[in-house]
């Protein structure tokens, strides 16, 4: 028997325990990774930037030429009901639309019946408490991130084998996480997070070839609020290693400092001053009604 | 209720109807497309080149650092039992190993419990009877195939969104299927098939950036038997369009002629002489004990 984390799901039109939430092995979401998704988190019973996640999810669905069974209000309603039923105050809420099953196993994606589901599990972190306090030690992988000419990274997708192989490389090198490059000397992203460099008080992050993370956008917004200059541009591996501070952003844990890249220590001490300020402001926003939506019980 | 094609599966250690064969929504095979697979076909109760498929599948599993619950004999035994229970004389037999579920939803792939399953459904074709008789009309997509620097194509994988988006492009252009390029003017592969050009009696096929298809290897082997010269090399889109014959190879239908690429008619008539000979020889081999394995009832 498989063990599962606590949680619940909405699938096939029903709410079920997470252990019973399953899709057919014939679902093209598995057999072609033909699917899109989004993850919004709930912190102390409040969704964080829910509208941003819904905007991105519905845009991703359109780009893949799929259709949701609900309009936007219906979608939001299901998310609230899932979180309430989960009983979780701090939760990781993943909404998924797959191409679904074709009754004839036809190879034409237009013949499949799209499959929508949601699952809610406890809030998770890309780094544990100790790692967040001292900063992560990361490896830059030899494998390169799937380029935007092949897969549109603005469609949030499950094409992650490059990131997973990168993780194995990182563990082999005694590191805790991984950054992938674009094969031309620039950095892209890691498994589930965007990457930022701070140099002389200004912040840069890769402009292209990366998911446009909601937490990435949040970091840019918070920089603006703090009067910190930001630029979306190419960020070379060299510039990253010689930055004063490096941090990553993810729905799974917010803003996390990087202490070392390939044995190169980053900055004077970790977390750096700007990373620290952003992290504090990020968590402050979690009780601000302008940034959050209370879960409707 | 979802409709399903006929078939059966072996999953979670049991044989079940295909409609009941499911995986958890938390399986990393879905959430990271962290999985490998292989498809062998059965024709008139005989597996075709089963050893080749088992060799490739077990190699793919190792490259992804996963583990099968059976040794090779055990794996082969399960495949035979699945086919017998399916009652199908002509079948499509897909074996899959996913990273599986982590009981803690840990982001470390080493914490997951790998998930092995098999499903057997009726034999399917990349082209219908009429299309096979007159040759397929294909489109060359603007989207490029995921490069080998990101995903090792020798590990048979479900990273197919580029191919699916290419299919949509092809349908928009009024075509029936799609070829993807490498972004540097060379052709790679299509959704589930390899591509071959015939020029002045010699056969070429892309050497890199493509799955090393078993039917691809079979076509090369049959060329050798027929005394036709072959070369694995770069094949430009231009060379393809000016070829005397173009054909594709897939477990899902063998050798299939291409009639048109982007409105350019290929050769004098379709299928061409070499394509025809290869196709005939391919099907002849399906009753040859040296190329096939009888399903053990």
CA distance A242 to chain B (A): 26
Q: Which residues of A touch B8 (CB under 8 A)?
A: none
DSSP string over B231-263: EEE--BHHHHHT-SEEEEEETTTEEEEEEEETT
A119 closest CB neighbour out of B25, B34, B157 = B25
Q: Are residues A115 and A138 in the same domain?
A: no
Residue-wise pLDDT tens digits, A19-47: 999 999 999 999 999 999 999 999 999 99
Residue A205 is predicted with a pLDDT of 98
Say which DSSP state B67 is in.
Answer: -
CA distance B186 to chain A (A): 15
Q: Are residues A167 and A32 in the same domain?
A: no
Q: Are residues B107 and B150 in the same domain?
A: no
Q: Is residue A151 part of a domain?
A: yes
Q: Are residues A135 and A90 in the same domain?
A: no
CATH number at residue B96: 3.30.470.10
Q: What's the Cα-to-Cα distance from B22 to each of A117, B15, B117, rounded to whole Å?
A: 14, 12, 10
Q: What's the Cα-to-Cα distance from A233 to each of A118, A230, B156, rounded to whole Å?
A: 34, 10, 35
> What tokens were used for A27?
């679902």
Residue position matching structure tokens 């599990």: A121
Which residues, 6 or more positions from A172, have their beta carbon under 8 angstroms from its beta carbon? Answer: none
Which residues, 6 or more positions from B1, have their beta carbon under 8 angstroms from its beta carbon? Answer: none
CA distance B220 to B201: 14
Q: What is the mean pLDDT of each run of 10 residues along chain B (297 residues)?
A: 89 97 98 98 98 98 97 97 98 98 94 98 94 96 98 97 98 98 98 98 97 98 98 98 98 97 94 97 98 96
Q: Is residue B292 part of a domain?
A: no
CA distance B67 to B65: 7
Q: Of A122, A150, A179, which residue constitutes the final position of a domain?
A: A122
Beta-bridged to residue A250, according to DSSP, are A254
The vertex-A119 CA angle with A114 and A122, nearest 5°, equals 160
Q: Are residues A189 and A277 in the same domain?
A: yes
Say which DSSP state A146 is in.
Answer: P
Question: What's the distance, Cα to Cα, between the start and end of chain A in Å?
Answer: 33
Q: Is residue A2 part of a domain?
A: no
CA distance A264 to B144: 35
Q: Are residues A162 and A282 in the same domain?
A: yes
Q: Are residues A85 and A147 in the same domain?
A: no
Q: Are residues A139 and A42 in the same domain?
A: no
CA distance A21 to A6: 12
A23 closest CB neighbour out of B3, B19, B25 = B25
Q: Which among B158, B147, B149 is positioned nearest to B180, based on CA atoms?
A: B147
Q: Which residues of B touch A183 (CB under 8 A)?
A: 149
Given a contact cutoff of 8 angstroms between Cβ atoms, the answer to whether A100 and A115 are in contact is yes
Q: Of A99, A122, A145, which residue constitutes the final position of a domain?
A: A122
Q: Is residue B2 part of a domain?
A: no
Beta-bridged to residue A138, according to DSSP, are A177, A261
Which residues of chain A have a pLDDT value below 70?
1
Q: Which of B19, B30, B191 to mutate to test the interface with A (most CBs of A within 10 A)?
A: B30
Residue position matching structure tokens 């792939």: B109
Q: Is residue B137 part of a domain?
A: yes
Neighbours of A292 (CB within 10 A): 19
* Cβ within 8 Å, pair B109-A18: no
Q: Which of A28, A32, A117, A188 to mutate to test the interface with B (most CBs of B within 10 A)?
A: A32
Residue A207 is predicted with a pLDDT of 97
> What tokens were used for B271?
């299928």
Q: Is residue A1 part of a domain?
A: no
CA distance A240 to chain B (A): 21
Which residues, 6 or more positions from B126, have their beta carbon under 8 angstroms from its beta carbon? Answer: A107, B177, B191, B192, B193, B248, B250, B252, B253, B256
Q: Are residues A114 and A180 in the same domain?
A: no
Neighbours of B183 (CB within 10 A): 15
Q: What's the Cα-to-Cα distance from B174 to each of A181, B137, B143, B259, rounded to whole Å?
A: 37, 9, 17, 14
Q: Are residues B113 and B159 in the same domain?
A: no
Q: Which among A191, A94, A106, A15 is positioned nearest to B32, based on CA atoms?
A: A191
CATH number at residue B199: 3.20.10.10
Q: Are residues A175 and A38 in the same domain?
A: no
Residue A263 is predicted with a pLDDT of 94
Q: How many helices (H) and strands (E) does chain B have?
A: 8, 17
CA distance B111 to chain A (A): 12
Q: How many helices (H) and strands (E) does chain A have?
A: 8, 17
Residue-wise pLDDT tens digits, A82-125: 999 999 999 999 999 999 999 999 999 999 999 999 999 999 99
Which residues constitute the domain of residue B227?
A: 129-286
Residue A3 is predicted with a pLDDT of 86
Q: Which residues of B touch A26 (CB under 8 A)?
A: 4-5, 18, 21, 119, 121
Residue B1 is predicted with a pLDDT of 63
Domain count of the fold of chain B: 2
CA distance B92 to chain A (A): 11
Beta-bridged to residue A293, according to DSSP, are A47
Beta-bridged to residue B92, according to DSSP, are B41, B121
Q: Are residues B57 and B116 in the same domain?
A: yes
> What ipTM does this complex have?
0.97
* Cβ within 8 Å, pair B26-A35: no
Residue A2 is predicted with a pLDDT of 75
> What tokens were used for A267?
């900055």
Q: Of B104, B122, B140, which residue constitutes the final position of a domain?
A: B122
């Amino acid at each position: 028997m498989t063990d599962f984390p606590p949680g619940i799901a909405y699938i096939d039109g029903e709410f079920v325990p997470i252990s019973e939430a399953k899709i057919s092995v014939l679902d093209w979401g598995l057999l072609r990774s033909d699917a899109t998704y989004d993850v919004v988190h709930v912190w102390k019973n409040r969704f964080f930037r829910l509208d941003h996640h819904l905007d991105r999810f519905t845009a991703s669905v359109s780009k893949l030429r799929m259709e949701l069974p609900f309009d936007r209000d219906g979608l939001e309603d299901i998310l609230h009901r899932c979180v309430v039923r989960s009983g979780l105050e701090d939760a990781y809420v993943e909404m998924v639309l797959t191409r679904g099953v074709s009754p004839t196993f036809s190879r034409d994606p237009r013949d499949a019946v799209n499959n929508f589901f949601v699952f809610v599990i406890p809030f998770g972190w890309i780094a544990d408490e100790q790692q967040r306090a001292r900063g992560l030690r990361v490896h830059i992988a030899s494998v390169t991130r799937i380029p935007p000419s092949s897969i549109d990274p603005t469609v949030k997708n499950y094409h992650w084998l490059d990131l997973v192989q990168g993780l194995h490389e990182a563990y082999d090198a005694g590191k805790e996480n991984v950054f992938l490059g674009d094969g031309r000397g620039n950095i892209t992203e890691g498994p589930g997070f965007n990457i930022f460099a701070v140099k002389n008080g200004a912040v840069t992050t890769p402009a292209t070839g990366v998911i446009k993370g909601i937490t990435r956008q949040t970091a840019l917004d918070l920089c603006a609020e703090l009067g910190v200059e930001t630029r979306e541009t190419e960020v070379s591996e060299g510039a990253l290693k010689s930055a004063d501070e490096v941090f990553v952003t993810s729905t799974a844990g917010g803003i996390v400092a990087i202490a070392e890249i390939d044995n190169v220590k980053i900055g004077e001490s970790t977390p750096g001053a700007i990373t620290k300020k952003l992290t504090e402001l990020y968590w402050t926003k979690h009780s601000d009604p302008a940034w959050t939506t209370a879960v409707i019980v």
